[in-house]
Structure 1
Amino acid sequence: MTTTLCRLSSVLLATALLTSHALAQNEAPKEVVPTTVPGSTATPEASTPELTLEQCIQRALARNFDLEIGRFNPLIAKDAIDVARGGYEPVLTSSGVHGKTTSRVAGTSSTVSDLRIGVSQDLYTGTTVSASSSLDRSKLNPLLLQNPNPAYDADVTLSVRQSLLRGFGTAVNRANLNRAKIGLDRANLDYKATALDIIQATEFAYFDLTFAREQLKVRQFSLELANTLFDEAKSRESVGTAIQLDVLQSEVGVANARRNLILAEQSVKDRQDALLALIGQFELDAPVGTVRFAETPTTLPVFASSLNLAKQNQPDYLSSIAAIEQLKLDLRIAKDNVKPDLTVGGAVGLGSSDTNTGRGAIGNALDRDRHSWQVDFAFSYPLGNVSNRARYRQSLSTLSREEIRLRLIEQNIEVQVRAAVRSVETNLESVRIAALASQLSQRQYEAEKSRFEAGRSTSRIVLEAQDDLEINRVSELQAQAALHSAIAALHRIEGSSLQRYSITLP
């Protein structure tokens, strides 16, 4: 503390001497202004254009690794819908066989060829429809007069099978497809949540860099004052108006100011890298233009409006609701599996034979040369049905658990919105108070400086005023950064960042 007081006292003395010298020559007193130290990153080069927050967000949404990875999830979920539809697509089947049987005892041989083509489809009602046609050719050697040789048999068959208990109705059979569609909605919501997180992280990084650069300017100004104090101390020592201890204290003050400047430069570079990592890929050496805080809002957020926006737009909340809808579908399937499996079916067929060609056999079959029909049923039920009943209870418990968790999420959202609104209100008031404190400390410093120049104050008092001025300047910057971060956090909870920046996700 003693070193700091001595340093600031010497600065004031140097300022007073400069002022007196200027007045003696009828010149305006020269103010000590901050300048950029060589190698400093306080201010970007003049050729570098300004980098706005909107530009950063656009670049982040286009080049960020996390968002680029997240783009695949909706594509995967979209293909899952086609996978779910696959079980209800028409299936074309074809089979063929050719064989020969020889009997050494009878001295005969027979050749048989069979070709069958069919198509079947499962419907969402639990119905299976199929149609098939076959052509058989048989030949016996040697020829037996009582059998045509060769012989052709053809048939056309249409069959229908319907589930009456398990798997009956569109609600059950479309459950997997509907689940996949909800999965696509959830994937899009998760992608939106990732985008909102990246927007918030970009806003935080942008405001952190803005604060770091503004703080660096304050450190540069302090170094300028420390150098001026050191030069003045050496001059006063040479004329005998100061002792060597004053020079040493001034030199320590320069070293401390330079250390603070180096730390501030490191902070700027670290926060610049953090911003570049969010808005680009392997572009850490890219220049970053001028950054600045946004205008301070003049209106306070309204809790009811923010809560309504959060429930309408919050991806995590909407995804939880969609997850419950998926669990309801799972419960419906589990409940259906508890039922016995009972199906009934029926088939009608037309057939014919011909001794000349297969085409003739098929033609005769279509002319109803021979016809047939059948009905059948199948029933199965596991005794006890323990596993299916257990799966149903599991689905029911899982659904109940997630419904309670949704209520917890609703309460957490309300708590988060309340805290975010209060944070904006508090930080807005903090900015106003910090600005007043900075203005007051500026006036106090100027007043004490004028009193010191008139010989009515001491260097220690002026030094304390200088210390308060620097502290309040940094506090004002911190308050501004905290306010903008609080606003960004509120927008993330509301899920409204995309609308505020007019962003449409693919």
Structure 2
Amino acid sequence: MNEAVVRALDANLEVSIERLKPQIAEQRRMQALSAFDPRLDVSTVVESLERPQNTRDFFATGRAVEIMSEDNVRIEGSLGGLLPTGTRYNVTIRSYQLKNTLNREALARFYPEYTSSTTFTVSQPLLRGAGLKANMAETRIAEMELRGAEQGLRGRVDQIATSVLDAYIESLYARELVRVITDRIALAEQLRVENDKRLRQGLMAPIDVMQAESTKAAAEIELIRAQSFLVETENRLRELIFSDFVAAVDTDFDLVDRLGVVALNESLPALRNLALEHNAEYQVALQRVEAEKLRVRHARNQFLPRLDLQASVGLNGLGGDIGTSFSDYGERTQPDFTVGFVGSLPITFTAERARLREMLFRLREAETEVRRTTNRLYAQVHTAHTRVSSAMLRAASSARAVAAAEASLDAEQKRLANGLTTSFNVLRLQDELAQARVNQLEAVAEGQKALAILWGVTGVLFERYQINLVEAPGAARRS
């Protein structure tokens, strides 16, 4: 069973699809975290301008120039980003090479002129968007979605494993059913041969031989049905554990496990608690509630007015080359600085109000889904527990029935050998024994299947069956 489960999880296409979801969720988490990555921007602009001098330019320069021409190279670089506290920072360095009509003249200090500046700017939200909770909300939501995707994968794995165990147990039952019916045919044939001998000895009527032959023919019909059922169950197993059914259609399984005794010691309340603790579907529902709570908290934060503290400090210099312009920073008595507040307040809050209502509805939906999942989980646990308990009682009763039928058949066969009963009575007891064995098989198989479903629902299937998710050795051989 364990090997079949491992093979199925390795080859099943549904599991392969489900495995991609945590990887997709992880990339969404990385995208959310990337909001705090620093960014480097660089620009270089070469410009050539010609424009007539206006009155303002004349009074600003004190020089009369008919056409003002400029050939400039502007280089800017900035490094900035966002911190989890909401703080935005930016360091900008500028260096300009300026050639124009005025600095070409002999009276100009430098030709060309190089101006450089370095500015550090910081902006800190004080209300909206302030703090770790507001700025880490998307990242935390992405982390919860990742955990939800991982739980979803585990839930799908539990479902596939349960289906594999169900198909495996069904195949075991079908094989045992074929064996029981084959034994029934052998008993009928043995009785027919013995009756034929007694007929030739004049100790038995021809009707007794015909009854044995008729019983054997009826059992052979049941054998054909059982063999067809066996093919169906093994095809279901092939579909689950092979990615290419056509290539595996001729695979001959060697099912080494056997139908064992059904045993369940846990009480129903304990099983319900176990399901709430380990069931993947329930855990996914809980993760969604937590994610929606974060979205509601973030939506409430957007109702706050925007009030940001902004400050900057910088230095500038002038020189005949780039190096001189930067070294000219030391000639300043103090750096340039600015500080102030920037505020923003929506008049109607229409978008924010609609967003918050949407998040509240989604939270209510998620909480309702938790309750629905809990009810469905309890119902599944209760149903599986009832089926296991019923199967245990049926298996115990059918075992006693098999023992009684075997004893009755043995006694009746001895009576037939002594001429104290009829062949019809022996055939009837053979049928009763075969039916008792079939009933026992059905009870054990149903109990094992219900137990697999129960452990799958409670989320402890792999622990209870001691399945280690590593690559298993060959579970099948090519016929």
TM-score bracket, normalised by the shorter chain, equals 0.7 to 0.9
Select between 208-217 and 53-62 the one with higher mean Cα deviation.
53-62
* CA spacing shift, 1:221–1:297, aligned 2, 3 Å: closer
Q: Equivalent residue for 1:91?
A: 39
Secondary structure (helix, strand or coil) at the match of 1:287 reads strand
**For residues 505 and 377 of structure 1, what CA distance do their matches in structure 2 show?**
59
- Pick from 198, 211, 220 the counterpart of residue 160 of structure 2: 198
Q: Equivalent residue for 1:310?
A: 275
**For residues 256 and 291 of structure 1, what CA distance do their matches in structure 2 show?**
30
Verify: 1:144 aligned to 2:105, yes or no. Answer: yes
Deviations along 1:130-187, one digit per CA (max 9) or x if unpaired, are: 1111001111248334544211110000101122222111101101111111112111
Matches within 5 A, 1:216-231: 216-225=178-187, 227=189
**For residues 428 and 246 of structure 1, what CA distance do their matches in structure 2 show?**
39
TM-score by length of 1: 0.81
Is the Cα contact below 8 Å between 1:351 and 1:369 reproduced in 2?
Answer: no
Q: Equivalent residue for 1:420?
A: 384
Verify: 1:404 aligned to 2:368, yes or no. Answer: yes
- Pick from 260, 282, 295 the counterpart of residue 330 of structure 1: 295
Is the Cα contact below 8 Å between 2:264 and 2:388 reproduced in 1?
Answer: no
Is the Cα contact below 8 Å between 1:210 and 1:291 reproduced in 2?
Answer: no
Is the Cα contact below 8 Å between 1:351 and 1:370 reproduced in 2?
Answer: no
Q: Structure 2: which 5+ runs fail to align?
A: 53-64, 471-479
Q: Equivalent residue for 2:464?
A: 500
Tell me how far 1:394 sits from its aligned partner.
1.9
Select between 202-211 and 360-369 the one with higher mean Cα deviation.
360-369
- Pick from 75, 89, 105 the counterpart of residue 115 of structure 1: 75
- Matched letter for residue 175 of structure 2: R
Identity among equivalent pairs (%): 27
Query: Number of residue pairs matched?
Result: 452
Secondary structure (helix, strand or coil) at the match of 1:281 reads coil
Is the Cα contact below 8 Å between 2:215 and 2:427 reproduced in 1?
Answer: no
Deviations along 1:174-215, one digit per CA (max 9) or x if unpaired, are: 011111111121111111112211221121111101100010
Select between 277-286 and 472-481 the one with higher mean Cα deviation.
277-286
- Matched letter for residue 443 of structure 1: A
Is the Cα contact below 8 Å between 1:351 and 1:366 reproduced in 2?
Answer: no
Is the Cα contact below 8 Å between 2:384 and 2:454 reproduced in 1?
Answer: yes
Q: Equivalent residue for 1:65?
A: 13
Q: Structure 1: which 5+ runs fail to align?
A: 1-52
Tell me how far 1:393 sits from its aligned partner.
1.5
Matches within 5 A, 1:292-311: 292-297=257-262, 300-311=265-276
Is the Cα contact below 8 Å between 2:184 and 2:430 reproduced in 1?
Answer: no
Select between 72-81 and 204-213 the one with higher mean Cα deviation.
72-81
Deviations along 1:427-482, one digit per CA (max 9) or x if unpaired, are: 11111001111111222222223233333323333332222111111111001101
- Matched letter for residue 97 of structure 1: V
- Matched letter for residue 485 of structure 1: K
Deviations along 1:277-297, one digit per CA (max 9) or x if unpaired, are: 323333332221144435315
Select between 131-140 and 258-267 the one with higher mean Cα deviation.
258-267
Secondary structure (helix, strand or coil) at the match of 2:385 reads helix
Tell me how far 1:373 sits from its aligned partner.
2.0
* CA spacing shift, 1:99–1:505, aligned 2, 3 Å: farther
**For residues 452 and 481 of structure 1, what CA distance do their matches in structure 2 show?**
35
* CA spacing shift, 1:299–1:334, aligned 2, 3 Å: closer
Q: Equivalent residue for 2:94?
A: 134
Is the Cα contact below 8 Å between 1:124 and 1:173 reproduced in 2?
Answer: yes
Verify: 1:471 aligned to 2:435, yes or no. Answer: yes
**For residues 108 and 98 of structure 1, what CA distance do their matches in structure 2 show?**
17
- Matched letter for residue 352 of structure 1: G
Verify: 1:271 aligned to 2:233, yes or no. Answer: yes
- Matched letter for residue 118 of structure 1: S
Q: Equivalent residue for 2:132?
A: 170
Secondary structure (helix, strand or coil) at the match of 1:295 reads coil
- Matched letter for residue 421 of structure 1: H
TM-score by length of 2: 0.86
- Pick from 74, 80, 85 the counterpart of residue 125 of structure 1: 85
**For residues 48 and 343 of structure 2, what CA distance do their matches in structure 1 show?**
39
Cα root mean square deviation, aligned = 2.8
**For residues 504 and 368 of structure 1, what CA distance do their matches in structure 2 show?**
72
Tell me how far 1:367 sits from its aligned partner.
5.0
Verify: 1:56 aligned to 2:17, yes or no. Answer: no
Secondary structure (helix, strand or coil) at the match of 2:253 reads coil
**For residues 294 and 128 of structure 2, what CA distance do their matches in structure 1 show?**
15
Select between 375-384 and 438-447 the one with higher mean Cα deviation.
375-384
